[in-house]
Amino acid sequence: MKCPYCGSEGVEAVKSWDMPKMGYRVTHYRCKNCGGLFNHYVGRGKEFVLRVGPRRKT
Ligand SMILES: [Zn+2]
């Protein structure tokens, strides 16, 4: 699994859950390199990643 923000493979799974209605298994990841958050959806022969609000540095 690669971070969709910075491309680092240093990501960790925070939690995962099922979406029975959608038929997907969702895993929530956090990048240890840039702190970016994203969800990985797997199900029904396909998978995709959705970004979840990148953490901004102020
Ligand atoms: Zn990252």
Query: What is the whole-number distance in angstroms between the Cα of residue 48 and the centre of ligand 1?
Result: 17
What is the Å distance from ligand 1's center to 36 Cα?
5
Domain count along the chain: 1
**2 belongs to a structural domain:** no
Distance in Å, CA 16 to ligand 1 centroid: 19
Ligand 1 midpoint to CA 39 (Å): 13
Q: Structural domain of residue 46, as residue ranges?
A: 11-51
pLDDT in tens, the chain (58 residues): 999 999 999 999 999 999 999 999 999 999 999 999 999 999 989 999 999 975 566 6
pTM: 0.85
For residue 53, the CA-to-ligand 1 centroid distance in Å is 12
Q: To which residue do tokens 């702190």 refer? A: 35
The residues, any chain, with a CB within 8 Å of residue 37's CB and separated by 6 or more, are 14, 28, 29, 30, 31, 51, 52, 53, 54, 55
Residue 57: what pLDDT? 60
Q: Is residue 15 part of a domain?
A: yes
Residue 18: CA atoms inside 13 Å, Cβ hemisphere, count?
Answer: 4
